[in-house]
Amino acid sequence: MLALAGLQLVFALLGAALALPTSETKKGVLSFPVYRKRNQPLNLGKRDNVVALGNVSTLTYLIRLQIGTPPQPVEVVLDTGSFELWVDPTCATAATENQEEKCNASGRYVPSQSSTYVDKGVKQHIGYGKGGAEISYAVDSILVPGSNSQALRNVVFGVGLNTTELAWGVGGIGHGNGFNLHYNNLIDELHAQGITQSKAFSIALGGQYSEAGGAIVFGGVDTKKFSGKLHKFDNMPPQIEGSKEGPWRYWVQMKSVGVTTPNSVISTYEYSTMPALLDTGSTWSYLPQHIFDSLQDDFNATLSEDGSLEVPCSMVDEPGTVDFTFGELIIQVPYSEFISQLEPGYCALGVLPRKGSYDRAVLGDSFLRSAYVIFDQTNQHLYMASYHDCGTNEQTLSGEVGAALNLTGECHSGHHLFASIPMCWVIAPSAFVLWIFVLFL
């Protein structure tokens, strides 16, 4: 999720990690669970143009942080598309009653209850396609999971003063000091304070309907979360339309997009080579109009009034894939991960058209659930493989992250999470209003 303001929301990934670690913390590796929350509007989507999608339920990925002394638990959205952390949204102004309830249950950071809190005396407004946040910058400690008392000291983050239509704070884990900021963000502090040996981290979101959640590993890679070898790609420079200026984000060159049907008919779309942004803060993916139209044709989907591509829910159980190619790597996203049930009997493809004269893609959670990605800020590289889950085996990534190429995933394709939509899920129609924001880069 890319914020409109220069100072964006960083510590999303930080949140989930700081809660209840699933494994013992290794030297140079810090692992946080990633939690799914359902029935949330996508008001943390793309930035400049607003498309209203009505009556929709979807997923948001969160991490839990323990901030202050004594530690106070809070949840934030895991976001590779922004680079600042802020907490404490105004729950009364959340977009729906459902969101307000989830906001109230997500935990609060109360500065006056922390003995290590320092007010920076600086305020900032961060805008989104819909909604925004006025924040005040603070300095405090964040507890390191897997330890009784070790903490990151003097971490800078924002505390919400007044927010609109936002249910959670945001944990941005994009490029920080020297790229987009003049101070250390979470990734910077983990490395500077010796918690990690590199400014690299890896993410596995987990399946859409799987029992197990996902995980983010700061300073490490989990070889039991992918199959085959890791493929190395350059982290491309800023890709603002018509310019190389703008904030640094996780851009990778995409070679093609296509579909493999349940009958094993393979199609690859023309003019689908373009830069693609890897963004955990976007629930759906955003592709140029001509690719969106091709997907509509191949799925025989119906364009709904709300802008989504409706398909029969029975397609979730079909063995087809949407295929994304990067160099020699093909990430095959199964129908069960690319199609989401938004209401009982109403399913849609996890894609929206991206407007603009330059072909760019934003690959959100509908893609990333099927990919395992290492984000290497130390060397400006991205590593990808197909996501599979066969346990946990975390390995440290040093400053020479290139050594990760020697690591091979321990899983095989049979471990992939193919899960059907739970048919017992019942939600009244028109219960939710979803706002999806299309990024203009």
Q: List residues with catalytic annotation.
A: 79, 279
Look at the block and give the residue holding tokens 């607003």.
50
Backbone angles phi, psi at 121, to 5 degrees: 75, 20
Is the peptide bond prior to 70 cis by the omega test (within 30 degrees of 0)?
yes
At position 100, the amino acid (one-letter code) is E
Length of the chain: 441
Q: Label residues 394-405 b or e (16+ Cβ within 10 Å = b).
A: bbbbeeebeebe
Within 10 Å of residue 332's Cβ, how many Cβ atoms?
19
Distance CA 261, CA 258 (A): 10
The upper half-sphere exposure of residue 248, i.e. CA atoms within 13 Å in the direction of its Cβ, equals 18
Strand-pair partners of 35: 62
What are residue 204's DSSP bridge partners?
Answer: 215
Q: How does strand 118-127 pair with strand 132-143?
A: antiparallel
Spatial separation of the C-alpha atoms in residues 302 and 296, rounded to whole Å: 7
> CA 358, CA 354: separation in Å to the nearest integer?
10
Cβ atoms 301, 311 nearer than 8 A: yes
Q: What is the three-class DSSP state of 292?
A: helix
Distance, CA of 303 to CA of 328 (rounded, Å): 33
Tell me, what amino acid is at 204?
A
Rg of the Cα atoms in the chain: 20
Q: What is the rounded end-to-end Cα distance, in angstroms, of the chain?
A: 12
Instruction: Give the count of beta carbons closer than 10 Å to the beta carbon of residue 121.
Output: 8
**Spatial CA neighbour of 285 closest among 369, 345, 337, 362:** 362
The Cβ of residue 123 has, within 10 Å, a number of other Cβ atoms equal to 12
